[in-house]
Amino acid sequence: MDRQRFLHVCEKVVNYKRESTGIGTLSEKTLHAVVKHYIEPDETRQEVKVGSFYADVVTEDGIFEIHTRSFNTLRKKLTEFLEISPVTVVYPLPGTKWLLWIDGKTGEVTKKRRSPKQG
């Protein structure tokens, strides 16, 4: 992974006011948008209709589906996509996760600590 390029994409996505005009972008989380733009900066190759579904990214190398939740929801898409093109499922994992606790009554935030879970 190109760290400089990743940081540039993070800055671009975080500072860009996303509108609800694109397919699947209304409830798109920041992580999903960053990974999508990192894989393919050309927005004409993002959210492309393939069969009866929309693919996150379509390139000459195949279809890329970025997933941050349960894989069960991918079954129907993958069945259809795999008949057309190779598919890469991208599942981002954090290298380091930080935990903070917020007191519900006072709003006080504890000192952050590393999570024992690693990516």
109 compared with 26, residue with greater pLDDT: 109
Amino acid sitting at position 10: C
Please count the structural domains in the chain.
1
Least confident of 32-36, 46-50, 66-70, 74-78: 66-70
User: How far is 56 from 13, CA to CA, in rounded Å?
Assistant: 16
Length of the chain (residues): 119
pLDDT at 23 over 70: no
Q: Residue 84: what pLDDT?
A: 94
Q: Residue 34: what pLDDT?
A: 93
| Residues forming a β-bridge with 49 | 54
User: How far is 102 from 6, CA to CA, in rounded Å?
Assistant: 30
User: How far is 37 from 35, CA to CA, in rounded Å?
Assistant: 6
72 assigned to some structural domain: yes
pLDDT tens digits for 53-105?
Answer: 999 999 999 999 999 888 888 999 999 999 999 999 999 887 888 899 998 89
43 assigned to some structural domain: yes
Q: Is 75 helix (H, G, I), strand (E, B) or coil?
A: helix
User: How far is 24 from 31, CA to CA, in rounded Å?
Assistant: 14
Residue 60: give the domain boundaries.
3-93
111 assigned to some structural domain: no
| Residues forming a β-bridge with 89 | 65
pLDDT at 24 over 80: no
113 assigned to some structural domain: no
Mean pLDDT over 1-15 rounds to: 89
86 assigned to some structural domain: yes
Q: Residue 42: what pLDDT?
A: 94
Q: What is the mean pLDDT of the chain?
A: 87
34 assigned to some structural domain: yes
59 assigned to some structural domain: yes
112 assigned to some structural domain: no
pLDDT at 27 over 70: no
Q: Residue 94: what pLDDT?
A: 79
Nearest to 32 by CA among 3, 10, 8: 10
